Every structure is written in structure tokens, then in C-alpha cells.
Structure 1
Amino acid sequence: MRKSINNGNVTWLDEGEGAPVVLIHGFSENAGLWEIQTAWLKAHYRVIIPDLPGTAAAPLSTPLTIESMAEYVYAILLAEDIKTAVIIGHSMGGYIALALAEKYPQLLKGLGLFHSTAKADSEEKKEGRRKSIKLMEEYGGETFLRQTLPNMFSPVAKASDPDLVNVYIKMGMECQLPALVAYYEAMRDRPDRTAVLKSINVPVLFIIGKDDNAVPLDNVLPQITLPRISSIHIFENVGHMGMWEIVAPSNVILQDFVTFCQL
């Protein structure tokens, strides 16, 4: 069921019943990213999937930051009177989940970093984002997405199911250029939040692809020992899109993690 508040400026999907789990999408994505996982999890849990500002379902709000998007998700939880939840984010969604964990630690029963990192962008990465923003502004969002999004998948995934890339690009094209630029600026300017992993008192899930070009293995590995309790899954022949590249394993991992967090 799609819901909204603030005259439709904040929107989300609400599926299933039980202990709540929040799934946060990343750059150029929307709630549809988690469609398969939602269908799996809603048999056991209540699944909340926000459409972040700038998606087709939710207008862009300015200024847009990782922190403002965390407040956007928090507003949804307040509207639903959800006091605690397992919060799992993909890529940029993980940055938002970390911002929530930092400001509202009492909210979390578990934190999931699905191809995501607590580290800030390196100077090299920031410069890459600046160049990408210029590319988007000069040639348009579609050109950028068609050039960039195929790299989110492993070579194996692209070879075995090339339609996945096209579906992902189509999803990205639902975001307007101002939103794509705002997301890149928000990611570029986010602070380092490795301290959150050191202080967190709930289980933390790490899902890592060895072929992930966006959040490489060597970026995340030093973080997996920081939390008190970590659940770590590293996959061969998986890029940045494990929820689509390895559907069955990712579904089971998410369900098992959410179940563990209820203990």
C-alpha cells in the first residue's frame, strides 16, 4: 500500500505485518528496487520502503543532504508510530541509515549496509563526483545513467541477464536531472561515520560484492570488525546490485538478519 503525508511530499510503501524493517534505496533508484525482497519479507514482517525526495513518487526537496533524507525517513516512522525498526540501506541508502543511527540510535534494532560504507568519499572520489555532475549538466541525466549504471553489475550478471541493466537504467530515468545532481552532491559532502559503527549496540549487516566498483571490497573490509556484532556476507561474481544479481541468497540473508535482530 502506498502512503503519503505532507500533501504527498513524503511517500512510502507499507507491506505486511509484524516487526518493522525499513528498506532504503540509493542513487537513481526508488522503492521498486526492493520489490522482490518486499514480496519475500512481507510474509513475516512489516516492510516500509520510502521513495526518497527526487524520485518519480516524491518531489525533490532542497537543500538535499544525507541528513535531510534521514529526517525524511524518520518522518515516515513517526507518522507510522514506529518506535524501533531494522533499517537497511543500499549504497546511498546505507549512508542515510547511518545518519539515522547516529542521530536516533534508540530507533534501530539492526543496521544493514547493502553494498554501502560508513567512510566519507576520498578526495579522489569527490573529484570524480564533481566531474560526473558536470557530465550530467552538460549532456543530460540519461546519457550519464546509460554510461554509468551498467558498471553497477558484475560481468557475470551482465552476460547472463543483460535485461537487468536496461531495467535499472529505466528506473534511473524516472529521476529528473536536478535530483541526480542533488544526490551526487549529498553523497560527496557526507561526513565519515565509521564512529557510528564503533559505538552501535545493535547487529550490523554487511553485504559485499567482490565485483562492486562503487563500494569496493577493500573499502568495506576494515569496517566489518568495528561493530560489536557483525553479520558479513561477501560474494564472488557480484557487483553493486546483489538484491538483483543473487536474489535468493539476498532474500534469505535479509530475513535471517531481521529475525536475529528480534532476539
Structure 2
Amino acid sequence: MKTLSLNNKKLVYAVSGSGAPVVLLHGFAEDHEVWENQVATLQNNYTVIVPDLPGSGASDRLDETSMESMADAVKSILENEKIDQAVVIGHSMGGYVALAFGEKYPQFLKGLGLFHSTAFPDTEEKKETRRKGIEFIKKNGAYLFIKQTTPNLFTENYKLKNSDKVVTFIEHLKEFEPESLIAYYYAMIARPDRTLVLKNFSKPVLLIIGKNDVAVPYKDSLALSHLSSTTYVTILEHSAHMGMMEETDKSNEALESYLQEVIK
């Protein structure tokens, strides 16, 4: 793991492999280890960078948490590694950060991917769900929140066959600070519509969509597919919101196929 200082806050990230740089951004209530199966494959051909976003894992929470401030953190990592351009792919909230990065720093983007994520803003219903989540976290803490909500991100079939993996995943996150989760929720509520980022991006965009995803609904994800001039779409038929775990091989194939197209 590498560490740099961002506004006197510790920012931690891992670098594996060699070749063209690929940045994988984890989602809400996750850390860089959610990508371990993808790093194991992609590091054979690429330099894979997986940060703990500010407030997650070993990285300090910033004084002001927003998609834009986390995009600044990603830029700081690239500058620290002396990287001029990278493919940036984000899972869920990490996709929101990737879009903010694309809006602020398009010159740094070689490719852009949304993995179970969206460029649409929250609906009023979604905002209300997040507000209820904030109240639950304030009352019960982060661990109980993660323990209750995380299983909903997997299909019933996956949970049935891999209950040990789900439990291990949850237990790994038990030290999450409630303040970080609350800050993320407020930041997600506040984020704007970023469909223009996809419309204006001149290079191919990657969409990986879970057929059974309830966090980022299938039909909403499909609606993004026509926004870019070129979009690579992979539908994970047997996944909900955690395709990197639920359908690892198909996820890795989608990532590798996309990277081969955008990195030439």
C-alpha cells in the first residue's frame, strides 16, 4: 500500500502490475479489497490502481466529502504516480466519483466505466431512502447498518451458495466509521445529473449492469447505453449489485475486452 497526504489527510492506495494504468474505484461501504478478483487478473497486463477513497479503509475522511473532492483525490494519486492518462472505472458510488473526475479532469481520462452505477441523479424516492439510512446509522452505528443492508446487494442464489463469502465481506467492514457513511450519503444526495459527461466523452464508455440489481435498477442502467457515441455493455444475468463477486469471470472478461479496445 502507498500513502500520500491530501490536505493533511492520509490517502492510501495499492498499485499492482505493469502496463497502461487502470484505476478501479470502490463503492459505498466498501474499500479497495472489493476489487481483489479483478486486480488478480488485470495486473497481468495493466498497472492497476485501487484506492481506499477518503473515509474508507485506511484513508482519512476529508473535511468536506463530495464526489468532486473524491475526484480530486483520484487526481492526486495519478499525479503522485506521474500518470498523464488512465482508464477510470467505478463501482456504484465509485462510478459517481469517476463521473465527477471525468467532468473536472477530462484530459486525464483514457476510458470511463460504470460498474453497477449511473449518471442520473437520485430520485426523490432514493433521496428519502438515503435520509432514512442516515437516521439509522446515527441511531445504530455503521456496523449494524452494513450488516443489515449489505446482503440486499447480492442475489438470493449467491447468498444461498456463498453465505460464508457474504459474512466475510461484511465482517471486513465492521470498523467503518459512521461519520464516513453519513458523509457519503449526503454527497450522493447532492450529486447532480452527469449524463452530459457520457454524452461529451469522445472515447468508448463501459457499462456493466446487474440484471437483478435493486440499488441501480436494470432499466435505468440500460437508459445510459445510448448516451455515448460508443458504449460497451455487459449484462450480468445472475448478478445484483456485486457482480465483481457474483460473476467474477464474466466481469473480468468484460473489463479486459473493454481495456483492449481503449488502450491501443
Using structure 1 for the length normalisation, give the TM-score: 0.97
Is residue 155–residue 237 contact of structure 1 (8 Å, CA) maintained in 2? no
Secondary structure in structure 1 of the residue aligned to 2:111:
strand
Task: Provide Cα deviations, 1:15-72, integer angstroms capped at 9, x if missing partner.
Answer: 1110000000011111111111101111100001111111231111121011100001
**Alpha-carbon distance, 1:255 to partner:** 1.3
Q: Tell me how far apart the structure 1 counterparts of residues 174 and 53 of structure 2 sit (CA, whole Å).
A: 15
**Alpha-carbon distance, 1:4 to partner:** 1.0
Gaps in structure 1 of 5+ consecutive residues = none
**Alpha-carbon distance, 1:8 to partner:** 6.7
Q: Tell me how far apart the structure 1 counterparts of residues 118 and 41 of structure 2 sit (CA, whole Å).
A: 25
Task: Provide Cα deviations, 1:61-97, integer angstroms capped at 9, x if missing partner.
Answer: 1210111000011100011111111110000000000
Q: Tell me how far apart the structure 1 counterparts of residues 88 and 24 of structure 2 sit (CA, whole Å).
A: 6
Task: Provide Cα deviations, 1:206-227, integer angstroms capped at 9, x if missing partner.
Answer: 1111111100101111110100
Runs of 4+ displaced beyond 3 Å: none
Tell me the matched-pair count.
262
1:3 paired residue number: 2
Aligned-partner residue type, residue 81 of structure 1: K
Is residue 32–residue 57 contact of structure 2 (8 Å, CA) maintained in 1? no
Q: Percent identity?
A: 47
1:1-263 to 2 correspondences below 5 Å: 2-6=1-5, 9-263=10-264
Aligned-partner residue type, residue 124 of structure 1: E
**Alpha-carbon distance, 1:172 to partner:** 2.7
TM-align CA RMSD:
1.1
Task: Provide Cα deviations, 1:72-129, integer angstroms capped at 9, x if missing partner.
Answer: 1110001111111111000000000000111111111111100000000001100111
Gaps in structure 2 of 5+ consecutive residues = none
Structure 1 stretch displaced more, 165-174 or 16-25: 165-174
Q: Tell me how far apart the structure 2 counterparts of residues 34 and 198 of structure 1 sit (CA, whole Å).
A: 27
Q: Tell me how far apart the structure 2 counterparts of residues 84 and 151 of structure 1 sit (CA, whole Å).
A: 36
**Alpha-carbon distance, 1:237 to partner:** 2.1
Using structure 2 for the length normalisation, give the TM-score: 0.96
Task: Provide Cα deviations, 1:167-198, integer angstroms capped at 9, x if missing partner.
Answer: 22123323211111111111111111011111
Q: Tell me how far apart the structure 1 counterparts of residues 121 and 167 of structure 2 sit (CA, whole Å).
A: 30
Structure 1 stretch displaced more, 152-161 or 114-123: 152-161
